[in-house]
Amino acid sequence: MSSRIEPVPYTDYAKHGLTKDTLLSMLRKMIEIRRFEERVERLFLQEGALIGPSHLYLGEEAVAAGAVGALNENDLITSTYRGHGHAIAKGVPMKPLMAELFGKSTGTCKGLGGSMHVAIYPEKGSMYATAIVGSGIPIATGVGLALQREGKQRVAMTFFGDGATNTGAFHEGINLASVWKVPVIFVCENNMYAMSTRADYAVAAESVASRAQAYKMRSMVADGNDSVSVYLAAKEAIDAARNGQGPTLLECMTYKLHGHGVYDKGEYRPKEEIEAWLKRDPINGLEARLLKANLATQSDFEKIEKEVAAEVEESVTFARASPVLPFDQLAKYVYVR
Amino acid sequence: MPELTYADALREALREEMLRDPRVVLMGEEIGVFEGVYKVTRGLLKEFGPERVRDTPISEAAIAGAAVGAALGGLKPVAEIMYMDFVTICLDQIATNAAKMHFMSGGKLKVPFVLRTQYSLGRVHGAQHSQFFPSIFFQVPGLKVVLPSTPYDAKGLLKAAIREDNPVVFIESGMLYRIKGPVPEGEYVVPLGQCDVKKTGSDITIVAVSRTVTEALAAAMKLEEEGITADVIDPRTIQPLDLATILESVRKTGRLIIASDDVKCGGIGSEIAARVAEEAFDTLDAPILRVASPDMPIPFSPTLEQAYMPNAQKIIEAAKKLIG
Amino acid sequence: MFRVAMPRLDPGMQSGKIVEWLKKEGDRVEKDVPIVRIEGEKTTFEVNSPGPGVVRKFLFEPGMDVQVGQTIAFVGEPNEPLPVEAEAPATLEPVVAQEAFVAPPVVSRVAESSASPVARKMAREAGIDISKIRGSGPGGRIVREDIQRAIEQMKAQPVVAAVSAQGARAVPVARTIKLAGKRKATAERLMYGFHTTVPVTITMEARMEAVLEQRRKLHSQTGEEISITAYVVKAAAKALEDHQIINSSLEGDELRIYGDINVAVAINTPDGLVAPVIPQTNRRSLSEVSRDIRELTERAVQNKLTVSDLTGGTFTVSNLGGYGVDLFAPVINPPQCAILGFGRTSERPIVVEKQVRAASVTTLSLVFDHRIVDGVPAAQYLQRVKELLEDPKKLE
């Protein structure tokens, strides 16, 4: 079990078989997530256009881009209320994502789910997003069971935070996953805080990854602010799962730019800590390394930024123009008919 | 017609559905090697193997959660929670997740699984191993809730539940596992959401669920000796409830008693009484009475438990109160 | 100073519109002179001055809506100070318009004894006063069975239907006579009969020359006076011998054809209409019938009729001819099957062999209960009555 919290040196990219396309698409994903979330933040805080709880992925982009980037398109993920990043990484289009935040009928959940469930998009293999901390882990075990029985070597990947690893559901789910040896990658986004509760206080273990030992499960640690680090770790876990070697607990060390929810500034965190992590910004980091490796130019980045900005704005326009489901239409969604 | 026990009828349902649909997978504590604490899953591990009959650790949240996830992933799981008392451990998975997933996803997600459980009121299991609270699920729209009272209904309803596209909570009665009843050979299904009128009469309507159905029928037979005849209606599914059949009966008799094993406060009877009062007020010739367990935990001592439970005598007394 | 208030022209009216002031401020008016036209919910109505005086002030312009009860004008002497306009008084005093007469509802609310919802509903629909019912349910609760029983019993008793007058025009009430005693009983009985029977009227004209001739002869020979009514009563009774279906009454599902023919004769008294009975009328001679009628009339006018006199009637005859009526359709006397009314015998033009001639004719009106008998048998009965009158020798 390795504990890497350093980015993979760009000089190793070739060694790991990482192509320019893969790297640029990883970067693009991170930029999409960043600009989308920044726009959402402005819609909440400055424009007052959105309402309700929302938990932004700002700062953690490398985890989604890296981990999901290592999956095949037909692999499945489940997410949580901090799911905008996972959804975008999995290829959920921005328009229905933004529309769902606006509560419109064109949203991923027709406006019935909201920010905490926005990642639900089975068309792209994003199977669920739960708002209950920890409850997604046993569900992921179940999804893994279904894939195992299917026999087509698809894998499932689920995301959760450090706080979730203290819930009963986590331990029950991980245990059962290990018992059944399901093809699931359990990705813990350890951003050091569960709301304002520090992980080094609440997690009674050496590390989240070390908990896997108690369940005879493989574990790995990656630098959650380096998408390449996450990608490589995830790839290893995915391959193991595909080959019937069971589940992996992948701990990614990362940090939120802001607080727990969109209104939370995260000021309970020490200033120096925030500053230190800001210096490790995943997007800036990858861009710098790509430039140094001569795998991309500034104008490549500008092009991506321009396209992403347009896409984000388009999604806001789309969301604004979309209608809301009429209330008398709601009853039919209680049951499958 | 052959007779089967309630437990055997359930097993036949499981077996037939597992043969019919390879997606059906069982999971739960003690269902495989031990063959089930009530022997409902006897022989199934042997026939279908550990891939499809999965013994689980003691982890209700994981059992229910895995069922949810497996359903999401395309299987048709039937998860067993050994005692209804343990359902509260996995209530998050069933109520907060499964029940809402179809609605919350704007109709995109389907979670077709059956959560089987039973309640042991009457078997001297004490306060924490006897609870029965089906009406909790009234407050969680998105689930279907089924309660069979006979072997015939048990088999037919379980088959229907497994074929459902919605999550179903299937509540069996521990006291009924050994009762025998006619179960036809050959394929049959009892549709969800339909009452069964188990006896007809014209003076009172008795609605009863699960174990109390036998009590209601016994009460009705006794009342007949005094010239009072009763409609005995078994809803079988309480969510969604077939209110129309109950209303039709109340319009005829004008008098309603609802018998169930849950505690009176907020029990099934409360909801049915409210609906009937709302829809058929002008046909009521007497107040609506509920015969239910008293509002207290279940006492262990056997005679005390007997005194606690709804029974035919209490139903008869209620009927007398209505008729005067 | 007289205060004119917005009246309540119909029970549901909350406010009225001033349509037009019919006088000007400063005009002198007498009592009951119209001073303003008001539009209520359904009609337009003129409000009169409550007393003599000068129209001192109008408080609203035409076109304005004013709450019922609010002052709209003052009429008084020029030197009187105008009062401060009061809000609508606590009790509404309609100065000019009397409130339309609204009959009290028949069914009263049950406060004390409990009744089940279905019992209440059934009582309401059947017009039964639930407070009069004794409950047989638990704790004395009135239950469905009790109302069912009451409905059965009610069939023998008459029912007062609620009469509610929606006052389109408020009419001053000169005098109130409480409906009581005989009047009330008659009203109740006739209402019941009217509501249960299916009355159909058929009329025939009967030539009365033979009767008149016979009467004249008898009077000149013996001095005996036999009234026309006696002839009709006797004819009606005799005709019933061959048309027994009409000598009957319907009780629920049972048609009772009576063994005796007892014709009741409608007699007008200062206290109202009574119909004493001539027992076995068909067996009485014409003279006896005539004397019976006279005797009963005397006793009726003196209020000396007995219960026996007034019960047991199987058919009724009613005559308004003495008051100038030619033809009328009386109300069947319940529970009888039919009633025969006839008007005055008068000279009328008739056509005989294409020639117009004068003849003595009376119009017979048979009102029969179609539940019991159809038009053809009723007509046949009336035909027989006519036959007997036109050939009175057949009466004995």
Which tens digit of pLDDT belongs to each residue from C308-337? 888 889 999 999 888 889 888 888 888 889
The tokens describing C143, both together, are 């239950």
- The residue of chain B nearest to residue C140, with distances taken between CA atoms, is B324
User: Which chains contact C through at least 3 pairs of Cβ atoms less than 8 Å apart?
Assistant: B
- What does the mean pLDDT of chain C come to? 83
pLDDT at residue C160 tops 70: no
Nearest of A71, A208, A205, A75 to residue A134 by alpha carbon: A208
CATH class name, domain B3-182: alpha beta
Parallel/antiparallel/unpaired status of strands A156-161 and A76-80: parallel
* Alpha-carbon gap, residue A237 to A218, rounded angstroms: 8
- The residue of chain C nearest to residue B283, with distances taken between CA atoms, is C118
pLDDT at residue C177 tops 70: yes
pLDDT at residue C158 tops 60: no
Query: Is domain C117-154 annotated with CATH 4.10.320.10?
Result: yes
In a 3-state reduction of DSSP, which class is residue B220? helix
- The residue of chain B nearest to residue C117, with distances taken between CA atoms, is B282
- Range with the lowest mean pLDDT among A147-151, B15-19, B143-147, C271-275? C271-275
Alpha-carbon gap: A76 to the closest alpha carbon of chain B (Å): 9
pLDDT at residue C93 tops 50: no
B105·A109 Cβ contact <8 A:
yes
- The residue of chain B nearest to residue C121, with distances taken between CA atoms, is B282
CA angle C374, C377, C380 (to 5 degrees): 145
A146·B54 Cβ contact <8 A:
no
The pLDDT of residue C180: 67
- What does the mean pLDDT of chain A come to? 95
Span between the terminal Cα atoms of chain C, in Å: 78
Q: B196-323 is classed in which CATH architecture?
A: 3-Layer(aba) Sandwich (3.40)
- Range with the lowest mean pLDDT among B147-161, B235-249, C276-290? C276-290
* Alpha-carbon gap, residue C47 to C364, rounded angstroms: 48
Partner A contacted by B71 (CB < 8 A):
yes
Residues of chain C with CATH 4.10.320.10: 117-154
Nearest of B263, B265, B204, B258 to residue B234 by alpha carbon: B258
Which tens digit of pLDDT belongs to each residue from C223-232? 999 999 999 9
* Alpha-carbon gap, residue A32 to A295, rounded angstroms: 20
**Across B250-264, C249-263, C293-307, which has the greatest mean pLDDT?**
B250-264
Task: Give the dihedral sign, CA C74/C75/C76/C77.
Answer: positive
User: Which chains contact A through at least 3 pairs of Cβ atoms less than 8 Å apart?
Assistant: B
B254·C136 Cβ contact <8 A:
no
**Bigger pLDDT: C133 vs A316:** A316
The pLDDT of residue C111: 44
* Alpha-carbon gap, residue C149 to B216, rounded angstroms: 31
**Across A96-105, A322-331, C121-130, C154-163, which has the greatest mean pLDDT?**
A96-105
Other Cβ atoms within 10 Å of C23 Cβ, number: 18
Regarding chains A and B, contact by 3 or more CB pairs under 8 A is answered as yes
Average pLDDT over residues C48-74: 87
Give the C-alpha distances (Å, rounded to integers) separating A266 from A51, A60, A260, B35, C210.
Answer: 19, 15, 7, 53, 123
Partner A contacted by B91 (CB < 8 A):
no
Average pLDDT over residues B86-105: 96
Assign C102 a pLDDT band (cuts: 50, 70, 90).
Answer: very low
Classify domain C2-76 at the CATH topology level: OB fold (Dihydrolipoamide Acetyltransferase, E2P) (2.40.50)
Which tens digit of pLDDT belongs to each residue from B50-69? 999 999 999 999 999 999 99
Classify domain C183-395 at the CATH topology level: Chloramphenicol Acetyltransferase (3.30.559)
The pLDDT of residue A4: 53
Assign C273 a pLDDT band (cuts: 50, 70, 90).
Answer: confident
Please identify every stretch of chain A with a pLDDT value under 70, giving residue numbers as ranges.
1-4
Q: What is the pTM of this model?
A: 0.65
- The residue of chain B nearest to residue A158, with distances taken between CA atoms, is B69
The pLDDT of residue B145: 98
- Chain-centroid distance of CA A40 in Å reads 16
Which tens digit of pLDDT belongs to each residue from C282-291? 999 999 999 9
Which tens digit of pLDDT belongs to each residue from C227-268? 999 999 999 999 999 999 999 988 778 888 998 999 999 988
- Phi then psi for residue A141, to 5 deg, are -60, -40
Residues of chain B with CATH 3.40.50.920: 196-323
Q: Are A219 and A212 in contact (CB under 8 A)?
A: yes
Name which of A109, A128, A176 is nearest B66 (Cβ-Cβ).
A176
B323·C121 Cβ contact <8 A:
no
The pLDDT of residue B324: 73
pLDDT at residue C108 tops 50: no
pLDDT at residue C89 tops 60: no
Q: Are B308 and B300 in contact (CB under 8 A)?
A: no
What is this model's ipTM?
A: 0.85
> Most B CBs within 10 Å: which of C118, C124, C146, C148, as the mutation test of the B interface?
C118
Residues of chain C above pLDDT 70, percent: 85
The pLDDT of residue C27: 92
**Bigger pLDDT: B259 vs A331:** B259
pLDDT at residue B292 tops 90: yes
Query: Is domain A10-315 annotated with CATH 3.10.450.350?
Result: no
Other Cβ atoms within 10 Å of C219 Cβ, number: 12
The pLDDT of residue A333: 93
- Range with the lowest mean pLDDT among B81-90, B115-124, C3-12, C112-121? C3-12
Q: Which positions in chain A touch B66 (Cβ < 8 Å)?
A: 138-139, 141-142, 145, 173, 176
Partner B contacted by C259 (CB < 8 A):
no
Q: Which positions in chain B touch A334 (Cβ < 8 Å)?
A: 102-103, 141-142
Q: Are A249 and A219 in contact (CB under 8 A)?
A: yes
- What does the mean pLDDT of chain B come to? 96
Assign C87 a pLDDT band (cuts: 50, 70, 90).
Answer: very low
Residues of chain C with CATH 2.40.50.100: 2-76
The tokens describing C237, both together, are 């009774």
B285·C143 Cβ contact <8 A:
yes
The pLDDT of residue C268: 85
Name which of B283, B284, B324 is nearest C138 (Cβ-Cβ).
B324
The tokens describing C128, both together, are 């039964």
Q: Name the amino acid, one letter, at A293.
A: A
pLDDT at residue B152 tops 80: yes
Counting one residue from chain A and one from chain B, the pairs whose CB atoms sit within 8 A come to 156
Q: Are C339 and C316 in contact (CB under 8 A)?
A: yes
Domain map (residue ranges) of chain A: 10-315
Residues of chain C with CATH 3.30.559.10: 183-395
Assign C41 a pLDDT band (cuts: 50, 70, 90).
Answer: low
DSSP classification of residue C168 = S
Question: Catalytic positions of B, please?
Answer: 129
